[in-house]
Chains A and B, each alone.
Chain A
Amino acid sequence: GAVVSQHPSWVICKSGTSVKIECRSLDFQATTMFWYRQFPKQSLMLMATSNEGSKATYEQGVEKDKFLINHASLTLSTLTVTSAHPEDSSFYICSARVGGRGWALEQYFGPGTRLTVT
């Protein structure tokens, strides 16, 4: 089956620093990757859609200058949380979709990255 990895699995950083999270599709090429955020005891909330070779599309209320997304290859997308603050502490999950468009194509989720900002 399709495997998506994330690195790191957890990270603790100080307020004001930046953190980069990687999302990789290990055995397939993903033209589209999605970044979600999940706060404790809540569901996943879509942050942005990342398309290989183009700018990411951000959901309403998500600051694009704070959450930088780069999708430079068909197997790698990165999310950089810039100038992190304690309220950015959350579980960040990426998913990857095999090429094409439309809802019917399955998404494969990574294991998530736990970010704690102190």
Chain B
Amino acid sequence: TQLLEQSPQFLSIQEGENLTVYCNSSSVFSSLQWYRQEPGEGPVLLVTVVTGGEVKKLKRLTFQFGDARKDSSLHITAAQPGDTGLYLCAKGRSQGNLIFGKGTKLSVKP
């Protein structure tokens, strides 16, 4: 069972454009993490959101956690080629491990 749905799966945009990717679940998250992974490397944690309605900003990246804690979004403003990568959302489990969504593969063309 896929617990986390991410959309879109692929996104190709020009440098300077804005974009939003989404992470949804039918169940409530106790917390949610966003990671970015580049080819041939491990994921790097971007942010952890915990509280419903929470908004966190990391430079040009804005993360939002839904009020009902069933969804989250990542918005990138004025995308740069360096933003290219696989964006993964992950839900923490009680055992302490993570369940990952399938990811959104972002390509930003100069």
A residues with a Cβ closer than 8 A to B are 4, 6, 32, 34, 41-46, 49, 57, 91, 93, 95, 97, 101-112, 114
Contact = CB atoms under 8 A, between A and B. Distances in A.
Interface in B73-107: 88, 92-103, 105
A46 B40 contact: no
B43 A109 contact: yes
B48 interface: yes
A112 B42 contact: yes
A109 B44 contact: yes
* Binding site secondary structure of chain B: loop
Most buried by B among A4, A102, A108, A111: A102
Contacts of B92: 102-104
Contacts of B44: 109
Given A93-B43, A95-B98, A111-B42, 14 more contacts: A41-B105, A43-B102, A44-B88, A45-B100, A49-B96, A102-B92, A102-B94, A102-B96, A103-B30, A103-B93, A103-B94, A108-B45, A109-B44, A112-B41
B48 A106 contact: yes
A46 B102 contact: no
A25 B60 CA distance: 30
9 contacts: A34-B97, A95-B42, A97-B96, A101-B96, A103-B93, A104-B31, A104-B48, A109-B45, A111-B42
B95 A106 contact: no
Nearest to B102: A43
Contacts of B95: 49, 57
